[in-house]
Amino acid sequence: MALPSDPVDFVAANTQLCDASAPTVVQWATEAFGDGLVMTSSFGVQAAVTLHLVTRILPDIPVIFIDTGFHFPETYRFTEQLTDRLKLNLKVYQATLSPARMVAHHGMLWEQGIEGLNRYDRIRKIEPMQKALTELTATAWLAGLRQEQTEHRQSLQHITIQDGIYKIHPIITWTTQDVHQYLKDNDLPYHPLHDQGYTSIGDWHSTFPVGENEQTRQGRFHGLKQECGIHLPQTSEEGASRDASML
């Protein structure tokens, strides 16, 4: 497959990859970015899909896990389970401020409305993620986002740019049924809280089970927002540029 020019022409790349299979998208990213490619995982409900898909092609790719210090015990155990089973090259990043010190200085931010949640996410998720990308000298990252998950993600294509980093979404067009089928075909586990009604899993203090007719991420962030910020542009200029490009 012919590669786009350097820097990557993501408009041309999206045209080239619009009907490509997920493994083909991963292989394209491997050839385009080489050692600059990393991937992220929250080790949520369906995390095993992207982790398995990518590591079959790139066994040693750095897998970034942002440890907020407030994950469910089940999430930590699930992370260990998948790390051992898939032999992941796991890279754990945490905030400089410890959980206890953050609460001492700022209180329980997750109980302080949307402003508190946004501050919490910046301290515990966004800043550690930026540190990870810098220390790993990443030029591109693979993420398991899907269009049907949130309003923001509906506009995403296979290749985007976020904060100067190329982002590749191999399963962006997959449906929930596609995910279920991949897990079944490859004998992969769900997060253990899936069977308790959790359809999207983050930190214990702001993640709840959802009802049968509720949206997948309605149980996150007390229903006040859908994204933690890791997958959002950090500048208004970049957001406007992305929107103008229909990405």
pLDDT at 173: 87
Task: Give the pTM.
Answer: 0.83
Q: What is the pLDDT of residue 210?
A: 72
What is the reported pLDDT for 241? 34
From CA 10, how far away is CA 234, in angstroms rounded?
19
At a CB cut-off of 8 Å and minimum separation 6, what does 145 contact? 153, 156, 169, 171, 172, 231
Q: Known catalytic residues?
A: 228
In order along its 247 residues, the chain shows pLDDT tens digits of 333 445 678 788 888 988 899 999 999 999 999 999 999 999 988 899 999 999 999 999 999 999 999 999 999 999 999 999 999 999 999 999 999 999 999 999 999 998 998 899 999 999 999 999 999 999 999 988 887 766 666 667 888 888 788 989 999 888 888 999 999 999 999 999 988 988 888 899 988 887 655 555 555 655 654 545 464 555 444 343 333 332 2
Measure Cα distances from 19 to 22, 43, 85, 158, 173 in Å. 9, 27, 31, 10, 9
What domains are there in the chain, each with its CATH number?
A: 10-237 (3.40.50.620)
Report the alpha-carbon angle 61-67-70, nearest 5: 155
